[in-house]
Amino acid sequence: MGETPADPGRTEPAVTGQDLEDVTAALLGRPLDLSRRDVSREAHVSLHSARRFWQALGFPLVNSEELLFTQADVDALGIVAGLVRRGELDEATALQLTRAFARTADRLASWQVQLVAEALEAERAATGDLSADHSTTATAQATAAYLVSMADELEPLLVYAWRRHLADAVSRLLTDAEPETTEEGIYRHIGFADLVAFSTLVRKSTERELSEVVKRFEMLSADVVTAHGGRIVKTVGDEILFSNRHAAPAAATAIDLVEAIAIDELLPDVRVGLAAGRVMPKLGDVFGNTVNRASRLTAIAHPGSVLADEAVAEALHDVPGFALVPLRPRTLRGVGKVEPFLLTRAGTPVRRPAAIPDRQEDR
């Protein structure tokens, strides 16, 4: 096929509706030949229940006669409806489970699409192939084609990862069971890490540069946290929240994060707050005063330092390899009075001050 010179004033057409339909059918493995009414009828549920299931999956409502569904939708709805009919789950719990799958899958899919698109674009940039013919539309089409070709190979990996993490989550549940206590929540050592001066970095950097910073931060943090047996609870751009069951690995995680990020030329310094106590797990997240205390300690920590609360300091008191320097008590917004400790490796020279002045701590 012959190529024509690109017209700099011409806007490339977006992916056509037929392209989208073909890609969707290819990824779903079946043609879009059923309506919402068809799905509800074949799954033996009401249109209302089918709509609630579709909403729980995170998709907008559609006309009951539009052909936007496949037999896979019937099968999935039938599984959920069967669990409810047999009394294994009530409807509310079944929908919550569906919502949990959906939110996780949505983030996973978006993340993977972006990674592939960035990789293809970087490959073209490396070869100097960034002509008009390889614009955003071309990258999107190449990404779609690649993912369609790889979906069947990636699917077993998804199931494997889910079962592995399910086994780990069930193990944590059994380990956390405390028959002799009536206290709510689970005991955890919570770390909160925050990149310093990220707002300034946002103003000075391009979107591509910021994307690289966030990606590097998340990758490095994940490696450090998991190396010490911890779990990243969530990431929010320039911040991560992680948890450990025991004090020593939590402390090692915090210190390793500071040291690893300090030698990374792309990343600004990080500061970490570490607190111990009971937290309430919910929707894969954790909540409570312990989380707030870790966050507030981070806010008053100097760049490149780790501040721990009294509970962490007490747990590390006789643990070799760590040094704890008590600082003056502070009153932290929403938390109250706390005595912070500067946490370092044993033998590390202490540089004061280790926390920012009072006038800044409630930023």
Q: Which pLDDT does position 350 carry in this prediction?
A: 66
Q: 152-206, pLDDT tens digit by residue?
A: 999 999 999 999 999 998 988 888 887 766 678 899 999 999 999 888 887 888 8
Q: Which pLDDT does position 351 carry in this prediction?
A: 62
pTM value? 0.75
The region that residue 44 occupies, defined by phi over 0 for left and psi between -120 and 50 for alpha, beta otherwise, is: left
282 within 8 A of 247, measured Cβ to Cβ: no
Structure tokens at 261: 């990020």
> What is each CA distance from 286 to 155, 187, 234, 280, 337, in whole angstroms?
29, 11, 9, 5, 22
Provide, rounded to the nearest whole percent, the portion of the chain with pLDDT above 70: 88
Segments of the chain with pLDDT less than 50: 1-15, 17, 132, 358-363
> What is the CATH superfamily name and number for domain 186-361?
Nucleotide cyclase, GGDEF domain (3.30.70.1230)
**Nearest CA among 348, 345, 309, 347 for reference residue 327:** 309
